[in-house]
Amino acid sequence: MGHVLPVCVIGLGLIGGSVMRAASAAGRATWGTTASTTDADAARAAGFTVEDSVDDALRRADEEDALIVLAVPLTALADVLRSVSAYAPGCRLTDVISVKGAVSEAVRKINPYARYVGGHPMAGTSRSGWTAGSAELFRDAAWVVTTEDDSDQEVWLEVVQLALACGAHVVPASASAHEKTVARISHLAACWRPCSPASAPREGRCR
């Protein structure tokens, strides 16, 4: 393998924090930033580099030709994408947000020339924040990497390499196929809950 890109993670909660831990454990240079003072303090206390702002993290990403990983809530995405456009427009870009269509649409609208390939690691816990994360969170988990007709193959391979470095196995899928699959899983989970022993009807049937 050739040059290994450093990784800049925007958002250091459960998923973003775990990406930074796992990438670092795999030997990648990493840094990140977060709007949460609690998460920033905890990450720094654990020995990780946390920049003071999104803009600072992105400036460094531009200087070091990093792969940028967006791990922010969907409601914060537009502002972060505008910062990417301003401070690191040429960097390779991915995300770990659970919806893909909305993210792709936002990227096309705000950063039409972004070198972007979407991602979604199918892993998590019932807790949130930096302290809930782990370098092992993605071990043997599925990590969707989106495939579209216009996907940048170089960026796609970089995202695949990151997922593999984090211990996941890669599942290529279009954004629309991803959304349909996640919707089916969510529907099945919703149907299963009423059938759990604690909530099943007396007749033992799921209505």
Express each pLDDT in 9-55 by its tens digit.
999 999 999 999 999 999 999 999 999 999 999 999 999 999 999 99
Identify whether 87 is part of a domain: yes
Between the CA of residue 79 and those of 47, 59, 128, 132, what are the distances in Å? 28, 15, 22, 26
Section 114-123 average pLDDT: 95
- The mean pLDDT value for 135-142 works out to 96
Confidence of residue 181 (pLDDT cuts 50, 70, 90): low
Q: Are residues 140 and 120 in the same domain?
A: yes
Say which CATH number the domain at 62 has.
3.40.50.720
Q: What is the edge-to-edge ordering of all strands in the sheet holding 119-121?
A: 119-121, 142-146, 169-173
Cβ atoms 57, 32 nearer than 8 A: yes
| DSSP labels, 82-151 | HHHHHH-TTSEEEE--S-SHHHHHHHHHH-TT-EE--EEE----S--SGGG--TTTTTT-EEEEE--TT-
Beta strands across the sheet bearing 7-10? 30-33, 7-10, 67-70, 92-95, 115-116
HSE-CB of 3 using CA atoms within 13 angstroms: 8
What is the domain range of residue 11? 7-173
Do 20 and 71 sit in the same domain of this protein? yes
B/e letters for 53-73, b = 16+ CB within 10 Å, e = fewer, are: ebeebbbbbbeeebbbbbbbe
Count up the domains in the chain and report the number: 2
- As a whole-number percent, the residues of the chain with pLDDT over 70 amount to 83
Question: Which residue would you say has higher pLDDT here, 21 or 203?
Answer: 21
- pTM across the whole model: 0.86
pLDDT band at 151 (very low <50, low <70, confident <90, very high): confident
pLDDT surpasses 80 at 195: no
Chain segment 56-75, per-residue pLDDT in tens:
999 999 999 999 999 999 99
Inform me whether the pLDDT recorded for 118 exceeds 90: yes
Question: Do 151 and 163 fall within a single domain?
Answer: yes
With cut-offs at 50, 70 and 90, classify the pLDDT of residue 163: very high
Average confidence score pLDDT of the chain: 88
Most confident of 63-67, 179-183, 202-206: 63-67
Residue 118 inside a domain? The answer is yes
Whole-angstrom CA distances from 31 to 8, 9, 23, 67, 205 are 5, 6, 10, 11, 51
Same domain (yes/no): 96, 193: no
Structural domain includes residue 204: yes
Give the Cα separation of 71 and 120 in Å (integer).
10
Query: What pLDDT was estimated at residue 178?
Result: 57
Same domain? For 80 and 36 the reply is yes
